[in-house]
Amino acid sequence: MSSFVMTAAEREEFLSGVHVGVLAVERAGRAPLAVPVWYDYEPGGELLIWMERDTVKDRSIRAAGRLSLVAQDENPPYRYVTVEGPVVANDDPPTREQALRIAKRYWPEDQATAYVDSALGLNSVLVRVRPEKWLSNDQSKS
């Protein structure tokens, strides 16, 4: 039986593809927060998540100081990558370029631009995470 685990290059390539991520963050006295998010990632870099400041997600991430994110392909052959690491920054809003890069992953350029122009502001925060631990599975590796 062969391993379904992706190589480092395979998992980073997969994570850099367009997937809705599911963010998981520990919370004191409650179940972990698990919510879908849009993100950006380039192999070898940091995981970037743009969100509104002072939301449940933001407060939970600030309290925990680290998070996990899973990206998956639910179509056969099934594949997923989970990345975990510390938050290295979450104080500043994204630049317009960073926000556009995230939005353009999920929307056509005109819709992404309109969204960024309406949503980017002082109430935005860019969460930067340094990937430390990885899990992966690629069912096509049989």
Phi/psi for 117 (5° steps) reads -65, -30
Cβ 65 vs Cβ 132: under 8 Å: no
Confidence of residue 122 (pLDDT cuts 50, 70, 90): confident
pLDDT at 142: 72
Residue 110 lies in a domain: no
In a domain, 57, yes or no: yes
Residue 69 belongs to a domain? yes
| Separation CA 21–CA 5 (nearest Å) | 19
In the chain, the number of structural domains is 1
Q: Residues 66-73: what's their mean pLDDT?
A: 97
Domain coverage including residue 40: 8-93+122-138
Tell me if 58 is assigned to some domain: yes
The answer to whether position 16 is within a domain reads yes
Within a domain: residue 105?
Answer: no
> 57: domain CATH number?
2.30.110.10
pTM exceeds 0.85: yes
